[in-house]
Structure 1
C-alpha cells in the first residue's frame, strides 16, 4: 500500500510539473491599452501620440512595458541594459487600426510574427520614423503604395533604423549585421 501511495505521489508530481511547464511556456496575452498606460522612454500617456504602439512582457517584470512607438518597442529588445527575459512583444496591427491617430486599444499582433513597413513617410508617436506593423501582407503592401517604404520582418528591421537618433538613415547594405544583435557585440 505504501509503495502504491509513493508511486501515485510521484506520478502526480510529474503530471503537475508538466502542466506548470506548459503554462510557463505560453506567452502572456496582450493587455488592452488604457488611458493609464505610460510610454517607457517618453514618460507620457500613450493616447497623446498618434501611430502604432507596443507592449513587452518580461518574466522579471510584473506589468507589461508600454511604448509610444513601435520603433521604441524594437529598441527595447536591442538595448543591453533592458531585460532579456522577454516572453512576448505585441505591436498595434495597423491593418486593423481605426486610423493613424487612433491605432486601437486591442488590435495587437505578436511582433515576431508581424510584417513591418520601414522608411515610409509615416511618423511615429514621438515624431520620428516608424516601423509600421501589420499582420497581413496585403495591408502592408497597400500602406507602402500610399506612404512609400519597404516591408521587412521583425528580424530584418535594421539596428541603425531603430537606434539612430533620426531613424531615417536606413541601411540597405549587407554589412549592417544582425538586426537583433545588441550593441557592442
Structure 2
C-alpha cells in the first residue's frame, strides 16, 4: 500500500471549521435568546402589604382592580418582578409614562372580575367594587374586556373594570351602566 498514513494526533481542518461554526452558532443563539426571549411572566399575589408604585397605598386594603406590569431589562430597578398598582387607571398612566421612556412591556396582568366573587358596596355615596389581589385573581390584561364609565369606583375613583368573559362584562354594563372596551383601545 502506498500513500501517506494519516496523522492520528492532528485534527483535520474541516472538523475544526465545523466545530468553530457550531460554537459560534450556539453562542449567537444564546445571545439572541437573552436579548429578546425572556421567560414568560406569571402574575404574583399583590398581598402581604405590597404598595402601589404610583400612590403608595397598600393594594389589598383598598377597593377596585389591581394590576401589575412586567418590563424587559429588569425594570423597575427598585426590585425584581413587576410594577404594582391598586388601580387599572394608575397602571395605564404609569405605562404611558414608561412607554415614552422606551421601556418595553413583557406582560401585564389585572384583576379578572370574571374569576372572582366580587362585591359592590356603597361608601360615601358611591358604588365601589371589591379588590382581589391573590395570584389566582389575575388574568392577562390583553385578553380582558373593560367596563368603562360605569360609575363604579375603585381605589382612585372612576375605574376600568376587567372581565375575561365578554358576556359577564356586558351583563355588568346592563346592571350598572357604562360601555365595554378592549385593551388595545385603552392603551392607544
**TM-score relative to the length of structure 1:** 0.73
Which runs of 4 or more aligned residues in structure 1 lie more than 4 Å from their structure 2 counterparts after TM superposition? 80-83
User: CA distance change for structure 1 residues 113 and 30 in 2, over 3 Å: closer, same or farther?
Assistant: same
Match of 2:21?
7
Deviation at 1:8, TM superposition (A): 2.8
C-alpha contact (below 8 Å) 2:47/2:134 kept by paired residues: yes
C-alpha contact (below 8 Å) 1:91/1:110 kept by paired residues: yes
Query: Considering only aligned residues, what root-mean-square deviation do their CA atoms show, in Å?
Result: 2.3
Counterpart CA distance in 2 for 1:15 and 1:71 is 39
Q: Residue 71 of structure 1 corresponds to which residue in structure 2?
A: 89
- Partner SS, residue 154 of structure 2: coil
Measured in 1, the distance between the counterparts of 2:106 and 2:40 equals 6
TM-score scaled by structure 2? 0.72
Q: How many residues align?
A: 157
1:29 deviation in Å? 1.6
Q: Which runs of 5+ in 1 are unaligned?
A: 158-178, 181-185
Deviations along 1:34-91, whole A, 9 cap, x unmatched? 2231012221110110111111112232331111111111111223666632221111
With over 3 angstroms needed to count, the CA separation of the structure-2 counterparts of 1:40 and 1:20, relative to structure 1, is closer
Matched, 1:129 2:143: no
Greater Rg over alpha carbons, structure: 2
After superposition, what is the alpha-carbon deviation per residue over 1:77-127, rounded to whole angstroms, capped at 9, x for unaligned? 22366663222111110111232424241221222222100010210113x
Whole-Å Cα distance in 1 between the matches of residues 142 and 167 of structure 2?
18
Structure whose residues are more often strand by fraction? 2
- Per the alignment, residue 168 of structure 1 pairs with none
| Equivalent in the alignment of 2:149 | 119
Q: Is the partner of 2:37 in helix, strand or coil?
A: helix
